[in-house]
């Protein structure tokens, strides 16, 4: 057995074996005669002593032990991962990850979440072969796994088990979504538990042929997409319920678009086939017209005729759900600290904040210390969908938990961490991140589209189109399909008639899309949500202007337009000298309002003598943010002292003009 030495000057050689590969096994064998034991052995020369030589030798051993062979190869990365967890996964320092992200123009901290696209590029640059996993990475993994064990669990399928599929049911109002859920729940609960469902927790499990299926009892695609907009991809299969006597309706099309935007497989449940006026063939034709090609017509989307009221076709529908889930090969590791998504939450009068969590990876246990978004807590009690106390919840299991000090938001991530201190730190970090976050992660606007395309963060421009009439929508749809090139395509993810709604904004936010409003407006709730989620809404009334703007954005030629908005005027009544180079203008606000740090110009007999900004605004001895009409104040202008009595100070701002406004 040969000895490996450090490259440093004359340090004592030590024996060192091949480093353990995080993905399982050991590093590739060196040529014969160069192998070593599985862990470093003591240098030859006897046992360690407390002498100076022994101390130097141990120091050398520790330093040499840090010299590791670079680990590369396949690696599985979740859709979102924290920088420090990515560093552990790739067996590098967090600083190295941050340096690699900076090369992609991403300035991240050690506790910041990055998307798979950025993380995979970092992994590729470091010599790995990344693939995306279906489960999210857990923080605080040190509770039950060492770093090498966590890496090994992420790099291969060791410890992975098949998990029940999570199903969401969507469709038009009164087409039978609730009836279908109720029928499945009543007919498929475990024997002896019928009627024992005493607690509504927003999700429940049924058992079919010894296999479980989890259903989300959400109030439609709006709630589903709202959760997805907050980064929570909760379901694996989408069932679109269509009434055979009513056909494809506007909300049906919305549900299909929302499911497709989430890249989930669809199953069409053709409900109410027992009705005398049911016309399944007409509905199937309408589905084809909406680009839903069912198997009967040569497509790959399953269509199952059912009657939720009479229970017909329910078994067949459940069998198809299991089949689609089997094709997806859904797996998770139950032996790691749990992560999950909050489905719904409420404040109970007797027990306080209660939250329903869908466990996605790991096993949630009683007493676990958890972080839910910006909230830290501990699992004090846990109930299943039948209201029974449980001690643990494996992957794809919905449970209601108690122990949080506040009510979390639907879509917040739940993570199990090592202790209370870590939980508080992580919650505080997330709270600070949300407070300081100025731009929505991954959100797209026409103004920044070309830059994001050049950086490789955008591969397609997603569009939500709302118009006044169907004819306009068809014309715009045809024109948009001709735009784009191989490196950037325009993709219409949803079209509809009428004003822009809050649901449209949620879909755009979750899909990184822009909203085009043609001859329509956005209602108040939609405008507020768009501002909150940083969704770009573009208003147009001329088709060619719409097309020109998108084409210009694709080629990097779109220039934003601005207009001047007058804020108010102030008349200078008196001037005061304060210091050598400061003149205070004593003013009275004649109209509007003057704000601190607003842009301003000085008008003297209608001629402009200065343009700059308000440097200071005071009333009496107090600095104030704004002064309204009729009040007096003191104004100091930035780099201007030649102000005179009788001058007019005009405050203004530059406001971006939305196209078509």
Are 390 and 402 spatial neighbours (Cβ–Cβ below 8 Å)?
Answer: no
Q: Give pLDDT tens digits for 349-385.
A: 788 888 889 898 899 999 999 999 889 999 999 998 8
Task: Tell me the pLDDT band of 199, cut-offs 50, 70 and 90.
Answer: very low
Mention every residue, 6+ apart, whose C-beta is less than 8 A from residue 489. 459, 460, 461
In a domain, 112, yes or no: yes
pTM: 0.51
Q: Give pLDDT tens digits for 377-399.
A: 999 999 988 888 999 999 989 99
Torsion sign over Cα 611, 616, 617, 619: negative
Coil, strand, or helix at residue 601? strand
On the question of pLDDT at 574 being above 80, the answer is yes
102 exposure class (CB count in 10 Å sphere: 0-12, 13-18, 19+):
exposed
Residues 528 and 626 in one domain: no
Q: Which two tokens stand for residue 184?
A: 């499945």
Last residue of a domain, one of 520, 536, 559: 559
Residues 462 and 316 in one domain: no
Residue 173 is assigned to a ligand binding site: yes
Residues 464 and 555 in one domain: yes
Residues 253 and 294 in one domain: yes
Residue 221 is assigned to a ligand binding site: yes
In a domain, 391, yes or no: yes
In a domain, 12, yes or no: no
In a domain, 18, yes or no: no
Last residue of a domain, one of 372, 406, 435: 435
Q: Give pLDDT tens digits for 643-654.
A: 999 999 999 988
Residue position matching structure tokens 């090969």: 329
Residue 271 is assigned to a ligand binding site: yes
Q: Give pLDDT tens digits for 144-187.
A: 333 334 444 444 455 788 888 988 888 877 787 788 888 887 77
Question: How many domains does the chain contain in total?
Answer: 5
Residue 220 is assigned to a ligand binding site: yes
Residue 217 is assigned to a ligand binding site: yes
Residue 177 is assigned to a ligand binding site: yes
Residues 513 and 528 in one domain: yes
Residue 422 is assigned to a ligand binding site: no
Q: Which two tokens stand for residue 558?
A: 């779109």
The angle formed by the CA atoms of residues 254, 459 and 340, to the nearest 5 degrees, is 60
Q: What is the pLDDT of residue 59?
A: 45
Nearest CA to 136 out of 397, 337, 356 is that of: 337
Q: What is the pLDDT of residue 490?
A: 81
Domain extent for 263: 164-329
In a domain, 236, yes or no: yes
In a domain, 147, yes or no: yes
Residues 374 and 456 in one domain: no
Residue 218 is assigned to a ligand binding site: yes
Whole-angstrom distance, CA of residue 635 vs CA of residue 628: 13
Residue 192 is assigned to a ligand binding site: no
Q: What is the CATH number of the domain that holds 573?
A: 2.40.30.10
Whole-angstrom distance, CA of residue 34 vs CA of residue 398: 52
Whole-angstrom distance, CA of residue 294 vs CA of residue 494: 20
Whole-angstrom distance, CA of residue 22 vs CA of residue 506: 39
Residue 172 is assigned to a ligand binding site: yes
Are 513 and 507 spatial neighbours (Cβ–Cβ below 8 Å)?
Answer: yes
From residue 518, how far is each of 51, 474, 509 by CA, in Å? 83, 12, 19
Residues 566 and 544 in one domain: no
Listing DSSP states for 232-265 in one string gives ----SEEEEEEETTT---HHHHHHHHHHHHTT--
Residues 533 and 583 in one domain: no
Residues 194 and 321 in one domain: yes
Residues 566 and 549 in one domain: no
Q: What is the pLDDT of residue 57?
A: 47
In a domain, 183, yes or no: yes
Q: At CB < 8 A and 24+ separation, what contacts does 601-606 make?
A: 601/649, 601/650, 601/652, 602/637, 602/640, 602/643, 602/647, 602/648, 602/649, 602/650, 603/647, 603/648, 603/649, 603/650, 604/644, 604/646, 604/647, 604/648
Last residue of a domain, one of 268, 295, 329: 329
From residue 42, how far is each of 37, 45, 60, 69 by CA, in Å? 11, 8, 11, 20
Residues 168 and 301 in one domain: yes
Are 154 and 108 spatial neighbours (Cβ–Cβ below 8 Å)?
Answer: no
In a domain, 82, yes or no: yes
- Residue 534, number of CB atoms within 10 A of its CB: 15
What φ, ψ does residue 372 adopt, rounded to 5°? -120, 100
On the question of pLDDT at 21 being above 50, the answer is no
Residues 370 and 474 in one domain: no
Q: What is the pLDDT of residue 234?
A: 78
Residue 219 is assigned to a ligand binding site: yes
């Amino acid at each position: 057995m040969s000895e490996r030495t450090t490259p440093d000057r004359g340090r004592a050689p030590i024996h060192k074996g091949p480093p353990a590969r995080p993905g399982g096994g050991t590093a590739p064998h060196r040529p014969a005669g160069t192998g070593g034991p599985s862990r470093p052995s003591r240098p030859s020369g006897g046992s360690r002593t407390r002498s100076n030589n022994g101390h130097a030798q141990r120091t050398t051993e520790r330093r040499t032990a840090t010299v590791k062979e670079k680990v590369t190869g396949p690696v599985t990365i979740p859709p979102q991962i924290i920088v420090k967890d990515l560093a552990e996964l790739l067996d590098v320092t967090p600083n190295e990850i941050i340096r690699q992200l900076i090369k992609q123009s991403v300035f991240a901290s050690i506790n910041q979440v990055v998307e798979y696209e950025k993380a995979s590029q970092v992994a590729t640059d470091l010599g790995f072969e990344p693939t995306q996993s279906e489960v999210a990475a857990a923080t605080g993994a040190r509770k039950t796994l060492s770093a090498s064990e966590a890496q090994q669990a992420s790099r291969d399928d060791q410890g992975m088990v098949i998990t029940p599929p999570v199903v969401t049911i969507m469709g038009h109002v009164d087409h039978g979504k609730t009836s279908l859920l109720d029928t499945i729940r009543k007919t498929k609960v475990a024997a002896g538990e019928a009627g024992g469902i005493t607690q509504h927790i927003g999700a429940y499990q049924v058992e079919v042929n010894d296999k479980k299926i989890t259903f989300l009892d959400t109030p439609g695609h709006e709630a589903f997409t709202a959760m997805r907009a907050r980064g929570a991809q909760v379901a694996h299969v989408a069932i679109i319920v269509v009434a055979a006597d009513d056909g494809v309706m506007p909300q049906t099309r919305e549900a299909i678009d929302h499911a497709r935007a989430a890249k989930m497989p669809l199953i069409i449940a053709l409900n109410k086939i027992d009705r005398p006026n049911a016309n399944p063939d007409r509905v199937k034709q309408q589905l084809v017209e909406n680009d839903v090609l069912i198997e009967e017509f040569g497509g790959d989307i399953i269509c199952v005729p059912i009657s939720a009221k009479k229970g017909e076709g329910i078994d067949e529908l459940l069998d198809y759900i299991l089949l689609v889930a089997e094709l997806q090969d859904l797996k998770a590791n139950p032996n790691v600290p749990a992560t999950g998504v909050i489905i719904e939450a409420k404040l109970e009068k007797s027990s306080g904040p209660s939250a329903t969590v869908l466990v996605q990876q790991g096993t949630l246990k009683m007493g676990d210390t958890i972080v839910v978004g910006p909230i830290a807590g501990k699992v004090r009690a846990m109930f299943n969908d039948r209201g029974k106390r449980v001690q643990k919840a494996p992957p794809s299991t919905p449970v209601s938990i108690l122990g949080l000090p506040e009510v979390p938001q639907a879509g917040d991530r739940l993570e199990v961490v090592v202790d209370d201190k870590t939980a508080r730190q992580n919650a505080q970090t997330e709270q600070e991140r949300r407070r300081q976050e100025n731009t929505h992660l991954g959100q797209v606007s026409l103004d920044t589209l070309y830059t994001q395309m050049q950086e490789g963060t955008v591969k397609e421009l997603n569009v939500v189109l709302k118009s006044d009439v169907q004819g306009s929508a068809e014309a715009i749809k045809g024109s948009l399909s001709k735009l784009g090139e191989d490196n950037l395509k325009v993709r219409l993810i949803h079209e509809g008639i009428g004003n822009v709604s809050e649901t449209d904004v949620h879909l755009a936010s979750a899909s990184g899309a822009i909203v085009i409003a043609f001859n329509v407006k956005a209602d108040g709730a939609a405008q507020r949500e768009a501002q909150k989620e940083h969704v770009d809404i573009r208003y147009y009334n001329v088709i060619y202007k719409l097309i020109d703007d998108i084409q210009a954005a694709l080629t990097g030629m779109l220039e934003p337009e601005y207009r001047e908005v007058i804020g108010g005027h102030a008349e200078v009544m008196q001037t005061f000298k304060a210091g050598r180079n400061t003149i205070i203008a004593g003013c009275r606000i004649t109209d509007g309002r003057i704000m601190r740090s607003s842009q301003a110009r000085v008008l003297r007999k209608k001629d402009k003598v200065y343009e700059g900004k308000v440097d200071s605004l005071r009333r009496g001895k107090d600095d104030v943010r704004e002064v309204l009409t009729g009040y007096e104040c003191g104004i100091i202008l930035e780099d201007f002292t030649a102000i005179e009595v009788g001058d007019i100070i005009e405050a203004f701002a530059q406001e971006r003009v939305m196209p078509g406004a």
